[in-house]
Amino acid sequence: MKKIAVIGSGNVGCATVQRIAELEIGNIVMTDATEGVAKGKALDIIEAAPVLGYDVEILGTSDYSDIEGSDIVVIAAGVARKKGMVRDDLMKVNANIIKEVSEKILLYAPDAIVITVTNPLDIMTYATQKCTGFDTNRVFGMSGMLDSSRFAAFIAMELGISAKDVSALVLGGHGDSMVALPQYTTVSGVPLPELLPEDTIERLVKRTVNAGTEIVEYLKTGSSFFAPAAAIGSMVESIVNDQKRVIPASSYLQGEYGEDGLYLGVPVILGKNGIEKVIELELTESQQQAFSISADHIRKSILKLQL
């Protein structure tokens, strides 16, 4: 059995542990900075096992040494935004948390593949890689799978069809500058532009870009966690079972899509070695322009990072 560590046992961390347990893809260690939180929540998830029928070990702890030898580490530690905030407002406070967590990962799980979830996502993923010094193929962020799933969900709702038959693709930064790709979005193989008029697609794209904020505005004191946990679970599963799924993820770019030295959402092949390949798609001129704007935003933010 693989050993999977989830750092941070708040909303995202707990939903992720539950999802990974249900998938039965590894034994799990969940940690939190607040004493007792991970222990209590782990116990709660363990007590659901007889009902849900999963058979994995789950340890809750505030002792980082318990992550020793983990094969995969999910970083869900950090502050979530509240109503009225943008993800970038979290940069300073969460960079400090990423630094601390990364140092522990380096110490106790130096061979792990690391999936960063903490916001602002693309910048925190960059910070994770800088602080661990790990090869870039084994440090990446969860974003595009969530954004694509949201786009797919909105398309299914609009067409009144099963979400299962929608395959959507959203790239770029996990924020206002994300780039939805309708031409690579299909319903059972039929391209989206053949199914919906341009202005409807535009409306669904706008809702997708704003989807995290839409939830924050309802919740007021926190952000989404069920769909993020579903996406993280699928990414972990693809690694553990070497599925080589093609999933959009925040990946280190080295010339792909005309960008270099930063993390941004692109389709990748995800297998036992982490990111095995970045897939380059042809973008329209305006999509390539939007992608570059996304990259410029990330570049400027990286300059403000203090690690």
Ligand X SMILES: NC(=O)c1ccc[n+]([C@@H]2O[C@H](COP(=O)([O-])OP(=O)(O)OC[C@H]3O[C@@H](n4cnc5c(N)ncnc54)[C@H](O)[C@@H]3O)[C@@H](O)[C@H]2O)c1
Whats the size of the chain, residue-wise? 307
CA distance 297 to 291: 10
Q: How many CA atoms lie within 13 A of 192 on its CB side?
A: 26
Find the catalytic residue in 41, 81, 87, 174.
174
Q: Does 119 bind ligand LMR (CB under 6 A)?
A: yes
Question: Which amino acid, one-letter code, is at 249?
Answer: A
Smallest separation (angstroms) from ligand X to the CB of 69: 18
Q: Does 212 bind ligand LMR (CB under 6 A)?
A: yes
Give the residue with the Cβ less far from ligand LMR, 3 or 297.
297
Q: Does 80 bind ligand X (CB under 6 A)?
A: yes
Smallest separation (angstroms) from ligand X to the CB of 100: 5
Backbone conformation region of residue 180, classed left if phi is above 0, alpha if psi is from -120 to 50, else beta: beta
77 to 119, 144, 227: CA distances (angstroms): 10, 19, 17
Smallest separation (angstroms) from ligand X to the CB of 242: 24
Neighbour tally for 15: CB within 10 Å: 22
Select the binding partner of residue 109 from ligand X, ligand LMR, none (C-beta < 5 to 8 A, by kind): none
Select the binding partner of residue 216 from ligand LMR, ligand X, none (C-beta < 5 to 8 A, by kind): ligand LMR
Residues 208-237 close enough to bind ligand X by CB under 6 A: 222-225, 228
Q: Does residue 174 have an active-site annotation? A: yes
Q: Is 61 within 8 Å of 43 (Cβ atoms)?
A: no
Tell me the number of residues near ligand X by CB under 6 A: 36
Q: How many CA atoms lie within 13 A of 238 on its CB side?
A: 23
Q: Phi and psi dihedrals of 209, rounded to 5?
A: -60, -35
Q: Is 154 within 8 Å of 207 (Cβ atoms)?
A: yes
Q: Does 81 bind ligand LMR (CB under 6 A)?
A: yes
Question: Which amino acid, one-letter code, is at 6?
Answer: V
Q: Does 117 bind ligand X (CB under 6 A)?
A: yes
- Judged by CB under 6 A, the stretch of 98-106, 216-224, 241-249, 279-287 that binds ligand LMR is 216-224
Beta bridge partners of 75: 7, 116
Instruction: State the virtual CA torsion across 260, 263, 265, 266 in degrees, nearest 10.
Output: 40
Tell me the number of residues near ligand LMR by CB under 6 A: 9
Give the residue with the Cβ less far from ligand X, 10 or 182.
10
CA distance 105 to 64: 8
Residues 147-206 close enough to bind ligand LMR by CB under 6 A: 174
Beta bridge partners of 140: 115
Q: Rule CB under 6 A: choose which of 223, 238, 250, 287 binds ligand LMR.
A: 223
Give the residue with the Cβ less far from ligand X, 122 or 259.
122
Binding interface with ligand X (CB under 6 A) = 7-13, 31-34, 37, 76-81, 90, 94, 97, 100-101, 117-119, 121, 142-143, 146, 174, 222-225, 228
Question: Which residues are catalytic, by number?
Answer: 174
Binding interface with ligand LMR (CB under 6 A) = 81, 87, 119, 174, 212, 215-216, 223-224
